[in-house]
Structure 1
Amino acid sequence: MGFLQIPGLGTVHFHEYGTGDKPLLAFHGYGMTGKQFHVLEQSVLKEYRVYGFDHFFHHESRLDNWTEEQIVAGMPRAMMRHYAEEWFKLHGRQRFSVMAYSIGANLALILVEEFPDLVDEIILMAPDGLSVFKGFHFLLHQGPGKRLFKRLTKSKWMATSLLRNLLRIGFIDQALFDIAYNELDTPKKRLDVYYTLNLMRLLTPDIEKLPDLINQHKIKCMLIFGKHDNLFPHKKALPFIEKLHNPDIHHVDLGHWLIVPALDDYLTKFERQEIADHLRQINQ
């Protein structure tokens, strides 16, 4: 574990784990920590050394005396560059890869935009950021939505009632409902949701520019989607995917909640099959 001091922003805490020697900067999903990817021990962690950053309002990352007005205005995109620059001060300027799950994909992809000449591989799971998610856009960027979001935060019942309705119409599954409900059942948790999403509201990658950068710099790109994910499904990302040269796309028999041992098993079996296919081609 360690800390990065980001000028004008705050202290970013990161977890360090994995037995591989290739550096992988990782960004978790909402309500988790930078240690979220520890379950991928037989696949990703054997190849990479993971540096998993905690989002603000999660675990030990802390803003430096930001007011609510500053938080709601959002963290400037330019500050994401400092994540890598400050990490370089600790570990030396070197090539690295990025990994992210859900909303963390926005942060990872901005780093790719900032350092395309240094990135080897992109691994994204159930990624946000590859298309405009209308629900988040409404709550974070449109006047009526921003007012509703603030009311949901202050109310004792509105947020949980909305979740129940989303479950009823099938927009989210029971697993996602349980996770989200657990993040909204106290005033502090609701405020943390409000602050987290608003702080990240400007951290959206340029999905028109990114495919060209990925192709130009021949960055390997693995995208993993849950077959039953209604939040960030594969079909929404198709316009982005179709612009990439040879992306490695996977559809796993899971919902949005992807970072589980079953994904580790899937990736391990896939890697073994790739090796077997390669050896078969050599021997033919």
Structure 2
Amino acid sequence: MGFLDIPGLGKAHFHEYGIGNKPMLAFHGYGMTGKQFHVLEQSVLQQYHVYGFDHFFHGESKLSGWAEQQIVDGMPRNMVRQYVEQWFAVYGRQRFSVMGYSIGANIALILLEEYADLIDAIILMAPDGLAVHKGFNLMLHKPVGRFLFRNICKSKWLAPSLLKNALKAGFIDQSLYTIAYNEVDTEQKRQDVYYTLNLIRMLKPDISKVASLINQHKINCTLIFGRDDKLFPKSAAMPFISMLDNADVHELPLGHWLVIKQLDEYLVNLPR
């Protein structure tokens, strides 16, 4: 593990694991760290040497000198290039692959836009970024939604209450409720939710461009969804999937909580 000093941003911490010799830059989901993909030891980690980055406000990654208003305005997407440029500075310019789960998929997709000629494969699990999510779009880009999101995160009771009502209404399932509730049950956690989602709110890939580049450069593309995922289901990604020439698409009998041992067992047993 180590750190990359990203100009104008801060120190991005990463974890290294996997016995494969092909480098892969990986970006985890909310509330996790760059170690999240360690569970894929019999499948992905046999082929790749993973550099798993901690998102800011997660793990040991630290923003440097950012005021709250800068965070709320969002990280400019051109800064995403610096993850790779600084990684090149340490390890040399070379071909690599990318992997992303949930909100981490946005960064993986933007890197594909920027470095398609150097990318061998992309693996996305329950990915954000393939379609506009109405809830996230409201609370991160619409004035009323942004106002509500800020006040919900400042309140001691609003966030837990809204999650309970969302569960009762069937908008989220029990597993997603448990994950989300554990991330809003303290003031610090609510602040981290607010800062994390605002920091990355401008990091939206151009899906048509991504699909075109995957086809043009014949990048191996693996998409994995949970059949019971109410957050980022396969159905929302179908317009993107339809633009791909040869995507490897899988749907497992799981919810959004997808990066688990069962996924590793599924992937290792796929026909070669």
1:78-93 matches, cutoff 5 A: 78-93=78-93
Displacement of 1:234 in angstroms is 0.3
Instruction: Give the whole-Å Cα distance in 1 for the aligned partners of 2:172 and 2:95.
Output: 38
What displacement does 1:53 show?
0.3
Matched, 1:174 2:174: yes
- Cα offsets for 1:129-174 (capped at 9, x unmatched): 0000010010000000000001101111110111111111222111
Q: CA RMSD in A?
A: 0.6
- The secondary structure found in structure 2 opposite 1:116 is helix
Identity %: 66
Q: Which of 1 and 2 has greater Rg?
A: 1
Could you list the runs of 5+ residues in structure 2 that have no partner in the other structure?
Answer: none
| In structure 2, C-alpha distance between the alignment counterparts of 1:97 and 1:170, rounded to whole Å | 36
> Which letter maps to 2:50?
V
Q: Which runs of 4+ in 1 moved over 6 A?
A: none
TM-score (normalizing by structure 1): 0.95
Q: CA deviation at 1:175?
A: 1.2
> Is 1:188–2:188 an aligned residue pair?
yes
TM-score by length of 2: 0.99
Aligned twin of 2:40: 40
Q: Deviations over 1:3-49 (max 9, x none)?
A: 00000010000000001000010000000000000000000001100
Structure 2 distance, partners of 1:168, 1:206, is 35
* Aligned counterpart, 1:59: 59
2:249 corresponds to 1:249: yes
* Distance in structure 1 (CA, Å) of the matches to 2:223 and 2:82: 25
What CA deviation, in whole Å up to 9, does each residue of 1:188-213 have, x standing for no partner? 10000000000000001011211111
Distance 1:231 1:210 in 2: 21
- How many aligned positions are there? 272
Q: Give 1:117 deviation, angstroms.
A: 0.1
CA–CA distance in 1 between the matches of 2:224 and 2:262? 13
For residues 45 and 216 of structure 1, the distance between their equivalents in structure 2, rounded to whole angstroms, comes to 27
Structure 1: state its 5+ residue gaps.
276-284
What is the aligned partner in structure 1 of residue 74 from structure 2?
Answer: 74
**Could you tell which deviates more after superposition, 161-170 or 96-105?**
161-170
Tell me the secondary structure at the aligned position of residue 249 of structure 1. Answer: strand
What SS does the aligned partner of 1:204 have? coil
The code of the aligned residue for 2:47 comes to E
